[in-house]
Amino acid sequence: MSFMTVGYDKKLARSLVLDELFDLTLYKRLQPFARGPIVDVLEELISIETKHLAFWQDFFNVRITRLDVLRRIKLVGLVLFCRIFGTRGIHLVLEAIEVHGIKKYLAVWEFYKDDPLGAAVKGVLVEEFKHEDEIVLESVKQKIHPERIRDIFLGFNDGLVEILGAVSGFFAAFQTTSSVLVAGFTVAVAGSISMAAGAFVAMGSEKEVEDTEVRKKKFLGEGVEESNGVRPLGSAFVVGISYFIGAMVPVLPVLFGAQNLTISVIAAIVVIIIVSYLLAFLSGMDVKKRIVTNLIIIIFAVVVTYSIGIAAKTIWGISI
């Protein structure tokens, strides 16, 4: 099969073919350590992606057989993530890929919808949206709670940013690193308890509303969907612990002898880039936008809290 694609977007074409190659390579890498029904899901997805990769290569007349450096790094990271979280991690990755895939295919459709080749494009996109999406949705149904895994990363992210800000202010105001360490650790513990309590109250209220809605539907004889199975106490524990772990990122350098804020900031930036990337991928957000946003937040938090610490020390004479 061959297509004449005069005037096509070369950047879009290359990106699309690389993304299809990436998805196919990822599914093949996951298959050897997958267990249970997900093995059959991956096998079917491999079959679909093989066909779609060939279609887009012919469509754009772009022959790419090797991933670029960034996609190879991404591949290693996702395979590692799936090895750590097992089958649940694989389900979550498949769901995330579907979200990103929808955005990508809609961009292609916007470019070709009025083109003579629009019919051919629509045919393969319908299969992408329906067939492949149905496979993934069926595989993740009642098997994972993506909210729980996202809560882990969000709690971690909040703890890191908030305590980095606190440690920045402490370094500016306090004269000894021991004071910074004690204050930072205390705030981290208090923050994790507060986050856990907030999650417990919020999830408890949500569950109460959900239970009331279920009882109403049962009374009216309507169909009732199964609960997502997330328990308030469990969610509170996950959020609190993940917050505390994130909070330790800027505190640990002080514990191991850091005499100023530099190492804590560097550690926080490195970790926040990794966490931002995972959050963006799992939630379907633009990766660069998420990373830049979090880096701006970190810089803003450090500047503001450090300034407050300096003010407390110079204006009010507060120092330890």
Looking at the structure, do residues 132 and 46 belong to the same domain, yes or no?
yes
The residue from 86, 121, 140 where one domain ends is: 140
Mean pLDDT of 199-214: 78
pLDDT at 226 over 70: no
Chain-centre distance for alpha carbon 269: 16
For 23-27, 63-67, 82-86, 101-105, which range has the lowest pLDDT when averaged over its residues?
Answer: 101-105
Residue 244's pLDDT is what? Answer: 93
Cα first-last separation, the chain: 75
* Residue 110 and residue 61 in contact, taking contact as beta carbons nearer than 8 Å: no
Query: Tell me: the pLDDT tens digits for 171-205?
Result: 888 878 888 889 899 999 998 998 888 888 877 77
* Domain interval for residue 221: 146-314
Q: Is 320 domain-assigned?
A: no
Q: Is 21 domain-assigned?
A: yes
Looking at the structure, do residues 118 and 180 belong to the same domain, yes or no?
no
Mean pLDDT of 94-105: 74
pLDDT at 269 over 50: yes
pLDDT at 100 over 80: no
CATH number, residue 133: 1.20.1260
Q: How many structural domains are present in the chain?
A: 2
For 114-123, 156-165, 284-293, which range has the lowest pLDDT when averaged over its residues?
Answer: 114-123
pLDDT at 116 over 80: no
Q: Give the Cα separation of 239 and 202 in Å (integer).
A: 12
The residue from 140, 162, 186 where one domain ends is: 140
Looking at the structure, do residues 214 and 65 belong to the same domain, yes or no?
no
The residue from 116, 140, 164 where one domain ends is: 140
Looking at the structure, do residues 229 and 108 belong to the same domain, yes or no?
no
Residue 224's pLDDT is what? Answer: 61
Q: Give the Cα separation of 210 and 313 in Å (integer).
A: 50
Q: What is the band of 1 on the pLDDT scale with cuts at 50, 70, 90?
A: very low
Looking at the structure, do residues 19 and 119 belong to the same domain, yes or no?
yes
Residue 131's pLDDT is what? Answer: 56
Residue 67's pLDDT is what? Answer: 92
Q: Is 4 domain-assigned?
A: no
Q: Is 319 domain-assigned?
A: no
pLDDT at 137 over 60: no
Q: Is 203 domain-assigned?
A: yes
**Average pLDDT of the chain to the nearest whole number:** 79
Looking at the structure, do residues 126 and 214 belong to the same domain, yes or no?
no
Looking at the structure, do residues 45 and 132 belong to the same domain, yes or no?
yes
Looking at the structure, do residues 105 and 191 belong to the same domain, yes or no?
no
| DSSP code string of 222-278 | ---PPP----HHHHHHHHHHHHHHHHHHHHHHHHTT--SSHHHHHHHHHHHHHHHHH
Looking at the structure, do residues 188 and 217 belong to the same domain, yes or no?
yes
Looking at the structure, do residues 20 and 117 belong to the same domain, yes or no?
yes
Q: Is 1 domain-assigned?
A: no
pLDDT at 88 over 50: yes
Looking at the structure, do residues 104 and 213 belong to the same domain, yes or no?
no
pLDDT at 44 over 80: yes
Where is pLDDT greater, at 304 or 102? 304
Looking at the structure, do residues 161 and 301 belong to the same domain, yes or no?
yes
Where is pLDDT greater, at 145 or 152? 152
Q: Is 291 domain-assigned?
A: yes
